[in-house]
Chains A and B, each alone.
Chain A
Amino acid sequence: MSAERTDLRPETGAFFQRDRSWHPPALTPGYKTSVLRSPQKALLSLDNTLSEITGPVFSQELLGPLDDDLIHNFARPGESAIGERIIVYGRVIDERGKGVPGALLEFWQANAGGRYRHKKEGYLAALDPNFGGCGRTITDQDGGYAFRTIKPGPYPWPNGVNDWRPAHIHFSVFGHGFAQRLITQMYFEGDPLIWLCPIVKTIPDRAAIETLIAALDMQATIPMDARAYKFDIVLRGRRSTMFENRLEGN
């Protein structure tokens, strides 16, 4: 990790205010765990200082050759994970439509049967000995990214008596400032479980939910190999720097 990249023109403006009516609120009783884990007092608004405008830089040197290939990065030599082979690709852009280069994306998911590789997980579906479930990549100059994986299966969870998560991939995203930090989930076009899920329904606006549903893209599909899903991620935009207060000693 180093801040010495010279291929990115740094911006130093404050980020646009987050629209908290578009994001899920903290307290969403249909998702039971939120009840005891949601602040009850109002947030303190803080127009960004340097502590929020700045953020860590991740260089391509961080990445191993199989970090963006979940079909193989945990598999025994010569073997691969079982399931529907897919490519997930898209761009990380900001609210101004600008590509976000150098953004670190980390993703994690269950295997084809909906089973996570985690010691706290007790679902009876089997582990796949060739599937770990984690991957990462860094966006290119245009904000583009891609990775290979298998399509995760739906997963039952102890919320309601009979709640099932839709097939989903978790995404963690770093932009250029710590205020852009975001974790979200990607869903798959056409999955009927999306509209039943209490976690999906924490998002109040149907149009907002639709931005988390990746579209099947037959043009990007590799024949006889892997289907493709396109998923774009939008991070907070930022103000132009030229009218920001001049910092003393700068």
Chain B
Amino acid sequence: MVQAFDRLKESPSQTAGPYVHIGLTPNFAEIAGVYERDLGDVMVNAATKGERISVRMRVIDGLGAPLKDALVEIWQADHAGLYNSLSERRGKADPNFTGWGRKATDMTTGECVFETVKPGRVPFKDGRLMAPHLTVWIVARGINLGLHTRLYFADEAEANAEDPVLARIEHRQRVATLVAAREGDAYVFDIHLQGEHETVFFDI
């Protein structure tokens, strides 16, 4: 007999369901007075460094309809490419930037809007720089395990062209599904859960 690893299995995921807002954005769900404000609602303050941006996202189902009950979280580096995390060992991230945001998609339009800063570039495992990106996590009724994707920026074409993660996408026409377009003052990003324009999702 050899020794056992004694590893446990991860708790299996279950859908967040249609009432995810009660727990994660109770003020949005009109449950007032329990929390002062919804967690992840605000990522920046007056002292946050970097270029302010708005990101408008929708999550679209297999028939082209936007989800009106999805919850989206983003995680990103600060303007200098540092994460506000315990596992960040390269330096100290901007203390006026959380790096993490959470929004429910609007119950009428299906859109959610993040007010944040453009992230700096972060090194890949081998030291090459990745292009500026947001890590995006989506849960909703009908989604059994949260979906991970990335948002890249259309006006970072040069960086995107050398991004080691985007480079791994075999079918090159799918790269565009991860690139948010600039529209006026905002970046817009539609996440397609399935079908012709299906967004690339990651097993991270």
Contacts and interface: CB of A to CB of B under 8 A. Distances in A.
Contacts of A35: 62, 142
A125 interface: no
Interface in B126-177: 126-127, 130, 133, 135, 137, 139-148, 150, 165, 168-169
A47 B203 CA distance: 8
Interface stretch (B23-31, B46-54, B110-118, B180-188): B23-31
Nearest to A93: B8
A27 B156 CA distance: 34
B84 A1 contact: yes
Contact of A50 (B12, B123, B140, B148): B123
Interface string B22-59: 11101001110111100100000000000000000000
Interface stretch (A15-23, A79-87, A139-147, A219-227): A15-23
B201 A121 contact: no
Counting chain A residues whose Cβ lies within 8 A of the other chain, the interface size class is 35 or more
B95 to A, nearest CB: 7
A118 B29 CA distance: 6
Interface in A14-69: 17-20, 22-26, 28, 31-41, 43-57, 62, 64, 66-67
Given A181-B137, A247-B90, A52 B144 contact: no
A170 B20 contact: yes
A35 B59 CA distance: 15
B125 A208 contact: no
Contacts of A53: 87
B193 A38 contact: yes
A76 to B, nearest CB: 11
Contacts of B77: 51
B39 to A, nearest CB: 8
Contacts of A67: 34-35
Interface of B: 6-24, 26, 29-31, 33-36, 39, 61-63, 67, 69, 73, 75-77, 83-90, 92-93, 95, 98-100, 107, 122-127, 130, 133, 135, 137, 139-148, 150, 165, 168-169, 193-195, 198-204
Q: Which 7 A-B pairs have the closest CB atoms?
A: A108-B23, A33-B142, A248-B127, A54-B85, A37-B142, A56-B100, A24-B144
Interface of A: 1-5, 8, 10-12, 17-20, 22-26, 28, 31-41, 43-57, 62, 64, 66-67, 73-74, 93-97, 106-108, 116-121, 132-136, 170, 172, 176-179, 181-185, 199-200, 202-203, 208-209, 211-212, 233-237, 244-245, 247-250
Given A37-B143, A53-B87, A116-B22, 7 more contacts: A34-B15, A116-B19, A118-B22, A119-B30, A182-B10, A245-B127, A250-B90
